Amino acid sequence: MSEIIDEKIEGLFQAVVKRNPGEVEFHQAVREVLESLGPVLVKYPEFGEHKIIERICEPERQIIFRVPWQDDRGQVQINRGFRVQVNSVLGPYKGGLRFHPSVYLGIIKFLGFEQTFKNALTGMPIGGGKGGSDFDPKGKSDSEIMRFCQSFMTELYQHLGEYTDVPAGDIGVGAREIGYLFGQYKRITNRYESGVLTGKGLDWGGARARKEATGYGAVFFLNEMLRVRGQSLAGKTCIVSGAGNVAIYAIEKLQQLGGKVVACSDSNGLIHDKKGLDLALIKQLKEVERRRIEDYVFHRKHARYVAKGNLWEIPCEVALPCATQNELNGKDAAKLIKNGCLAVAEGANMPTTPEGVRAFLKAGIAFGPGKAANAGGVATSALEMQQNASRDAWDFEFTEKKLSAIMTGIHQRCYETAEEFGTPGNYVNGANIAGFIKVAKAMVALGLI
């Protein structure tokens, strides 16, 4: 990369920081992509002339709104809602909604930015966006969740539509919340517009395998990374952070492919079960009873629960961070490498800090970044949109096969792009470059919009 390009990219990054003060996660996500783009600007000088980077770093539209709702005691509560519509040159804005108290504009913008390149990598006709609220679903009753979702949608509906913007789930938003959101959208608009939300229940327009798709997809991607290195999952000791939607189905697919998963976590602590995790028990605790993973050890006496424990200190050959951003830092990466970890696939969005990513790349382990490895969720959302548009419902096996083929395709795209741009085996560069080029070419083709 020439020094002039280096300087130009640094200047562009500094302008993003200045323009978006305090949004540290957004800065981090932008920096990581821009660091891969030097050789792209050399090969495609037109991207510079069209100011593609400057335009891509400025979302097309950012919506921030008040969400008033009443709790079970009759008290009025106020939260803040967001929808950031980042880029729509490849299709309607597409990306999840996150309900978590840590949510603020910088988190939603980082997620929407990542989503844009992730969605491009899937090869499906979807643009990028993200939304959510600082609402904390923990400890809320079902009626409180419903009232919150109804109020949230009462404001957001005017910005959505099957050809405009199609939200789905993310942290704190699953089929229950999508149900209440869809119900309110339907009521306000008087339209049964199935394609306006994905992650719906199977009885009312949802796609089979969507619930499983992100976790399964991350393992399919991991499996491909191992395959090109002449390895496989069989007999490998694995650890997975989180115990939510992505983590549960990553564990399921790891187990199906012969991996031994010995640990997972939530924001309070971790469970370590040397005999291998009992996934049916975890599903019962998390999906049915909505409890904490701490309760696992009441049922499996030999397992241990470590409050505030560091999952990454548990020796493993395969690690999947599937909880949240920046959950795995440079020290954690060093510990994993020292303990013999061979492969890491990010089920979560940006779970590894830049120091952690650098450590993995330097050590030459197989590292699958989130925008490639966790793209199976949104890809299957696009399959849900496809089924909704044709009023069809495919069976599980057919849908899973499609997901598997999509993940193999994403792996190949990242692998080949990394090679083409002079960094073989570097999936971070592969994913950033392949995703960016696809969006950038469409932006040039569609003119200055």
What residues are labeled active site?
130
Q: Measure the CA–CA gap between 197 and 175, rounded to whole angstroms.
A: 11
Q: Which is nearer to ligand 2IT, 40 or 348 (CB)?
A: 348
Q: Does 242 bind ligand 2IT (CB under 6 A)?
A: no
Segment interacting with ligand 2IT (CB under 6 A) among 39-47, 233-241, 263-271, 376-384 = 376-384
Segment interacting with ligand 2IT (CB under 6 A) among 29-37, 56-64, 90-98, 405-413 = 90-98
342 binds, among ligand 2IT, ligand NDP, none (CB under 5 to 8 A by kind): none
Mark 223-235 as b/e (b = at least 16 C-beta within 10 Å).
Answer: bbbbeeeebebee
94 binds, among ligand NDP, ligand 2IT, none (CB under 5 to 8 A by kind): ligand 2IT
Task: Order the strands of the 128-133 sheet from edge to edge.
Answer: 61-70, 76-87, 128-133, 93-99, 165-168
The answer to whether 169 touches 205, Cβ cutoff 8 Å, is: no
DSSP E strand stretches across 7-105: 61-70, 76-87, 93-99
Segment interacting with ligand 2IT (CB under 6 A) among 93-101, 234-242, 338-346, 352-360 = 93-101
323 binds, among ligand NDP, ligand 2IT, none (CB under 5 to 8 A by kind): ligand NDP
Q: How many residues does the chain have?
A: 449
Q: Which is nearer to ligand 2IT, 95 or 356 (CB)?
A: 95
Q: Measure the CA–CA gap between 238 and 247, rounded to whole angstroms.
A: 12
Q: Which is nearer to ligand NDP, 40 or 250 (CB)?
A: 250
Q: Does 246 bind ligand 2IT (CB under 6 A)?
A: no
> Terminus-to-terminus CA distance in the chain, angstroms?
30
198 binds, among ligand NDP, ligand 2IT, none (CB under 5 to 8 A by kind): ligand 2IT
Contact letters for ligand 2IT, residues 97-136 (x by CB under 6 A): ------------------x---------------------
CB of 300 to ligand 2IT, least distance (A): 30
Q: Does 311 bind ligand 2IT (CB under 6 A)?
A: no
Q: Which is nearer to ligand NDP, 380 or 426 (CB)?
A: 380
Q: Which is nearer to ligand 2IT, 95 or 206 (CB)?
A: 95
Q: Measure the CA–CA gap between 216 and 115, rounded to whole angstroms.
A: 18
Cα dihedral sign for 213, 218, 224, 227? negative
In the complex, the residues that contact ligand NDP under the rule CB under 6 A are 100, 102, 169-172, 214, 242-247, 266-268, 322-324, 347-349, 374, 377
Spell out the alpha helix ranges (H) of 137-174. 142-156
Rg (the chain; Cα; Å): 21
21 Rama sector, left if φ>0, alpha if ψ -120 to 50, beta otherwise: beta
Write the single-letter amino acid at 132: G
Q: In whole angstroms, what separates CA 70 from the centre of its chain?
A: 31
Q: Which is nearer to ligand NDP, 206 or 377 (CB)?
A: 377
Q: Which is nearer to ligand 2IT, 144 or 165 (CB)?
A: 165
Q: Does 177 bind ligand 2IT (CB under 6 A)?
A: no
Q: CA angle, 365 as apex, 364 and 371 as ends, to 5°? A: 110
The answer to whether 119 touches 434, Cβ cutoff 8 Å, is: no
Q: Does 206 bind ligand 2IT (CB under 6 A)?
A: no
Size of the site for ligand 2IT (CB under 6 A): 11
141 binds, among ligand NDP, ligand 2IT, none (CB under 5 to 8 A by kind): none
Beta carbons within 10 angstroms of residue 8's beta carbon: 17
CB of 163 to ligand 2IT, least distance (A): 15
Q: Does 377 bind ligand 2IT (CB under 6 A)?
A: yes
Segment interacting with ligand 2IT (CB under 6 A) among 14-22, 89-97, 223-231, 292-300 = 89-97
Q: 90: which 2 tokens?
A: 């490849």
